Amino acid sequence: MSDSTALDSFLDKWRARWPEWQVAETFVPAPRRRLAVAWFALLQEFEDAMNIAGDPLPADAKLGWWGEELRDWSRQRSRHPLGRVLEPCPAPWEALAGALPALAAARAPVDDIGEAFSRLRDYAQAVAAVEASLFDAATAGQAANAIAAQTLAARLAEAGPAALAGSGNAGDDGDRGMLQVGEALLKQWPLPRQAPRERRIWAALARQRLQRRVGAGQPVAAAAPLRLLLTAWWAARG
């Protein structure tokens, strides 16, 4: 498989998970769209390792490999196809590498959402710092909090409510548990107004997904294209 084909396979995998982006990326400057998708695809790789089911050792090994890869990016060396797009961009890659173990720690059930946010604080701050470099934007603590919330929303979707409220009443695995944990997460999900446009748009789409899931009490299809367009436009405005 050529480097170009391998890269496209990772980008297409992320696009398949986020079909809403086809509508939303209208509000991202064309020269930055490929960079944005490559970055989001990388974060998806990290989230997949966090949300692994069963034996965590292969996922932990994967996170360890990614740590070494990101440290190499700091030295202008890359092996992974996503590095062809991302590594040339000066960013605090080594700091992100150092924060990856937080994703393994995040697999353990917690008593409440606040504890889940705390476990991801260092990771979210590292992600926010990289995004500020990639997209030439200012960043703030609010951006990191929003990144943590979005990461937890992915965990909720993949692992269920018990993963975020293991010993509380909301730890039920049914619709009631999803409703309670989802509502608690939404209450602590700030609007990332200080984040880059790319993050603001993706966060708005992710938050909309969770709102629709909580409101319906069951998995639902993506919002209609017009609603997606309005959501992305609102987020792009900042």
CATH number of the domain bearing residue 231? 1.10.600.10
Tell me which residue range forms the domain holding 110: 3-237
If one compares 4 and 69, the residue with the highest pLDDT of the two is 69
Average pLDDT on 96-123 reads 93
Region of poorest pLDDT, from 25-34, 167-176, 184-193, 210-219: 167-176
Contacts for 181 with CB less than 8 Å, ≥ 6 apart: 113, 156, 161, 164, 165, 170
- Total domain count, the chain: 1
pLDDT greater than 80 at residue 58: yes
**Res 42 pLDDT > 90:** yes
Phi, psi of 222 (to 5 degrees): -60, 155
Looking at the predicted structure, is the pLDDT value of residue 111 above 90?
A: no
Q: What is the mean pLDDT of residues 106-135?
A: 92
Q: CA-CA distances (angstroms) from residue 204 to 19, 53, 199?
A: 14, 27, 8
